[in-house]
Structure 1
Amino acid sequence: MKIVFIGASSLAIATAELLLQGDHEIIIIEKDKAVIDELIEKIDCVFMHGNGSKPAILKETDPDSIDVVFCLTKSDEANIIASLVARSLGIQRVITRIEDVEFEHICIELGLNDTIIPTLNNARYLANIAAGRNILELSAIIRGNVRLFSFIADETCEEPVGDLDLPKHSRVIFLYRDNVFQPTDEETKLKQGDEVVLVTTTDEYEQLHEKWSNGKAM
């Protein structure tokens, strides 16, 4: 695969190093020349000096050949803009890093479905460790073609979970209402703004995404 990183953050470099083990083509775009000079001898990939939020810079990477773009700068705003630019150039898979959770719904509304919040995820993990809980890694239980999908309910979804027109192998498993976990059953009535989480399959994921365009993989 051809993978482009916008921003040479520590997360970007660590991810790039892992991907290079699989012989993928890696391009890192970084606007700080000093950072490039420091890294160029340490990691065997292509570096480009420039602002990855600028369409002209990203066009130099031949967007039609790119499989994935990771927007991993230290600025949420820059990552969102760079993601939108990448999407406008026809790149289908764009991963957007944000730190401020208030941007999450904005990303969903903009169609940036692959949004990650590393600090929040790490904080939850550390809090569980501190509490002495034995956390089962999600990767250990999500196997084969099983996937998780979530969407934000709008006014058209204010109905019981059991009335949702879901594909055969897809099920609602819980929701977040005002960021509070809430289990669901067939009678649970959705409200506008609920983040609804489903378990589904790879094949049915696309059907769900077509139905709820603000949805995202989890």
Structure 2
Amino acid sequence: MKVVFIGASSLAVATASHLIDADYEVIIIENNKDVIDNLIGKVDCVFIHGNGCKPAILQETDPNSIAVLFCLTKSDEANIIASLVARSLGFKRVITRIEDPEFEHICVELGLNETIVPTLTNARYLANIAAGRHIHELSAMIRGPVRLFSFIADEADAVPIDDLALPKQSRVIYCYRDNQYLPIDHDSTLKQGDEVVLVTTSEDYEKLQNKWGNGKAK
């Protein structure tokens, strides 16, 4: 299985090393030649020197053969642009790293449903440890084909949950309304602008993305 990283950040290199140990084929795209020269011989992967936001550079990786593309540069804007370009080129999965939480809602509106905010995640994790709360690893709870999906509700989605006509194995579990967590019951009604989070399966994920992949119903 092949995985691509845009940006040779410490997070990218650490993740790449784990995947290489698990027999994944890894490609790292990095714009700084000095960084690549420093990593060659330390990380057993293919390096591409260039701007990962450029379609021609991404095309060199053969998008149809790539399982996951991670956009992990130090620039939120570059990661978002690279993610959108990658989506247009047909990459199956695109993971977008952002540091500024204000971009999170924008990413969802753009259909970048697999966005990570490492600083915020780590801060919550450490705060929970300090408070003595029991921490469950997300990876331990989400197994096999189970996936999470989110979208921004538009005017057409402002209906009772039961009227969304979701695939059989998909359920709305909660939403954010005005940045506030809101639990969902079977008789709850969505409002325009709600960020809706569903639990689904790999099989149904594509169906949901076809409907809400760009942040609005198609």
TM-score, normalised via structure 2 length: 0.89
What is the aligned partner in structure 1 of residue 103 from structure 2?
A: 103
Distance 2:145 2:92 in 1: 20
Cross-structure match for 1:36: 36
1:208 alignment counterpart: 208
Give 1:202 shift.
Answer: 2.7
The farther-off stretch of 124-133 and 110-119 is 110-119
Task: From the superposition, tell whether residues 162 and 143 of structure 1 become closer, same or farther in structure 2 (CA, over 3 Å).
Answer: same
Pair 1:198 & 2:201 matched? no
Looking at structure 2, the residues matched to 61 and 182 of structure 1 have their Cα atoms a distance apart, in angstroms, of 41
Which deviations, in whole Å up to 9, do the C-alpha atoms of 1:31-63 show, x marking residues without a partner? 112211211121111122222122232233333
Runs of 5+ unmatched residues, structure 2: none
Cα distance, 1:171 vs structure 2: 2.2
Cα 1:148–1:69, aligned 2, differ >3 Å: closer, same or farther? closer
Residue matched to 1:176 = 176
Aligned residue in 2 for 1:159: 159
Residue 8 (str. 1) matches residue 8 (str. 2): yes
Between the aligned partners of 2:106 and 2:178, the Cα distance in structure 1 is 15
Corresponding position of 2:146? 146
1:175 match: secondary structure = strand
Secondary structure of 1:199's match? strand
Shift of 1:146: 2.7
Matched residue SS, 2:36: helix
Alignment partners' CA distance in 2, 1:67 and 1:200: 19
Cα distance between partner residues in 1 of 2:29 and 2:94: 15
Note the C-alpha offset of 1:108: 2.4
Which 4+ stretches in 1 moved above 4 angstroms?
none
Quote the Cα distance in structure 2 between the aligned partners of 1:210 and 1:88.
14
* Deviates most, 17-26 or 80-89: 80-89
Matched residue SS, 2:196: strand
Superposed CA offset, 1:67-97 (max 9, x none): 3221110001111111222223222222111
Counterpart CA distance in 2 for 1:135 and 1:42 is 33
Note if contact 2:109-2:151 (Cα within 8 Å) is conserved in structure 1.
Answer: no
1:56 alignment partner AA: A
- Aligned residues: CA RMSD: 1.9
Does the 8 A contact of 1:162 with 1:185 survive in 2?
A: no
With the length of structure 1 as denominator, give the TM-score of the two structures: 0.89
Give 2:198's aligned amino acid: L
Runs of 5+ unmatched residues, structure 1: none
8 Å contact kept, 1:3–1:26: yes
CA distance in 2, matches of 1:146, 1:55: 31
Which deviates more from structure 2 when the two are superposed, residues 104-113 or residues 184-193? 104-113
> For residues 123 and 96 of structure 1, what CA distance do their matches in structure 2 show?
19
Q: Counterpart in 2 of 1:186? A: 186
Question: Matches of 1:63 and 1:204 in 2, distance apart?
Answer: 22
Q: Are residues 212 and 64 of structure 1, via their aligned partners in 2, closer, same or farther at CA, if it must alter by over 3 Å? A: closer
Q: Partners in 1 of 2:74 and 2:153 — Cα distance?
A: 30
Deviates more, 1:160-169 or 1:42-51: 160-169
SS of the residue corresponding to residue 27 of structure 2 reads: strand
Other-structure match for 2:121: 121
* Structural mapping, 1:61-140, within 5 Å: 61-140=61-140
Percent pairwise identity? 73
